[in-house]
Amino acid sequence: YGDYDESCIFAYAAALVIESYYRYYHLENKKVVALFNEWTLGMGALYIRKKVPAIGTIFITHATSIGRSIAGNNKPLYGYLSGYNGDQMAQELNMEAKHSVEKQAAHHAHCFTTVSDITATECEQLLEKAPDVVTLNGFEHDFVPKGEAYVVKRKAARKALYRVAEALLGYKLPDNALLIGTSGRYEYRNKGLDLFIEALNQTRSHHDLQKEIVAFIMVPGWVKGFRDDLRIKLDERDMFKSAPLPNPVITHDLYEQENDKILQYLSFLQMNNKPEENVKVIFVPCYLDGCDGIFNMSYYDLLIGFDATVFPSYYEPWGYTPLESIAFGIPTITTNLAGFGLWADKALGGTDLKKGVAMIHRTDFNYNEAAAAISKELVELSKMSKGERTEIRKHCLALADEACWSHFIRYYLQAFDIALNKASEEVSN
């Protein structure tokens, strides 16, 4: 419960600052809203609600602690959702403290919101409180390079991805290889990392695959440091003269590497990156902060170099990673269990990778079918011409424009109105 204690203390301290600011500047005649995100700040919402009821309190949950835990423990969340009781599951999963503060904040804040319709349903069942409004997650893409700068950045990213891949593999890759990426927290099932690997496994035996695929799994693990042998290889003038590296599937060393789930599954499937394989997988188990020792480039600086991304999540209340992908003009594959996937499907009137987003249908029980659907999308991508992929990039950017905060801020304004009106009524009474 260390994370619970620290979160509650931080939330309490933040609430004290808000209260102090409110009283010091005599804001009684102003319209003031305090917004608290996630169960980690729930205690702050409860404090302000009790001590300064004139401040409109908003509590936003970006997931439910119990829903995420149910999914992460390999239980069927969606098909059996109506049968779950949040309090009972909190006890079973040893999550009572987190669930309790989350539930109380949802019930007692002036306005309760969440980030997608799929999570709204989850909240209603597990927290026994329907959100007052759904506040979709927006994105500001003003830092995404445009015009010639985009071309330069993309070339630099592809050069870096190719160089690391070739140094690790020990042989040259074809110039037209498809670079596919996935990223996120290391939640093996929730983020669909297992499904992504299975889809790649199915793709390598697909007779219609037209181009070689190099897939990068950029997910921080229990990293020890960069591989010295890979770093030395990258510094060589001719990387292919020296002997190939052992274990050519990972860029950094891990603690207890033999227990890593991604590496275990790759080994089980015998995805060893042999030269004759048409699908290669490279695990990058570190934060791409620009100083990881191998790429030394930020995540965004590498993202721009991919041909497509895949985020086949099982549990994803919103999903910033696919939104970031299309903001950089990179088409993405997501699922109907991600809030972003559902939004994109509605915005596009049905998704298709040619429109920038493909939404794969996932359930609790269709693992193999979902993997096959992802594989099919990758095979279709391999058949597309350079001109077709350029056209897709335009669709990506157009859809990303619709997800800017300038469009989504209206949902927050609704939440502000609800919170202020309820606070005003409470003070008046």
Averaged pLDDT, groups of 10, the chain, 429 residues long? 88 98 97 97 98 98 97 95 98 96 98 98 98 96 93 98 96 96 97 98 95 98 97 90 90 98 98 96 98 98 98 97 97 98 95 95 97 98 95 96 96 98 92
Tokens at residue 224, please? 């020890």
Q: Is 91 helix (H, G, I), strand (E, B) or coil?
A: helix
pTM over 0.75: yes
Which class does domain 2-138+407-428 fall in? alpha beta
- Roughly how many angstroms between the first and final C-alpha of the chain, as a whole number? 39
Q: What residue segments make up the domains of the chain, in order of their start?
A: 2-138+407-428, 147-402
Determine the Cα–Cα distance for residues 338 and 68; give it in Å rounded to an integer.
Answer: 13
Q: Do domains 2-138+407-428 and 147-402 have the same CATH topology?
A: yes
Determine the Cα–Cα distance for residues 282 and 268; give it in Å rounded to an integer.
Answer: 15
**Fold held by 147-402:** Rossmann fold (3.40.50)
Q: What is each CA distance from 416 to 41, 47, 107, 109, 412, in whole angstroms? A: 18, 18, 17, 12, 6
pLDDT tens, residue by residue, 283-294: 999 999 999 999
397 φψ region: left (φ > 0), alpha (ψ -120 to 50), beta (else): alpha
pLDDT tens, residue by residue, 198-211: 999 999 989 999 99
pLDDT at 141: 84
Determine the Cα–Cα distance for residues 333 and 87; give it in Å rounded to an integer.
Answer: 35
Determine the Cα–Cα distance for residues 86 and 410; give it in Å rounded to an integer.
Answer: 31
Q: Is 88 helix (H, G, I), strand (E, B) or coil?
A: helix
Determine the Cα–Cα distance for residues 379 and 383; give it in Å rounded to an integer.
Answer: 7
Strand partners, 216: 181, 282
Determine the Cα–Cα distance for residues 17 and 40; give it in Å rounded to an integer.
Answer: 17
Q: Pick from 249, 384, 361: which is nearest to 307 by CA?
A: 384
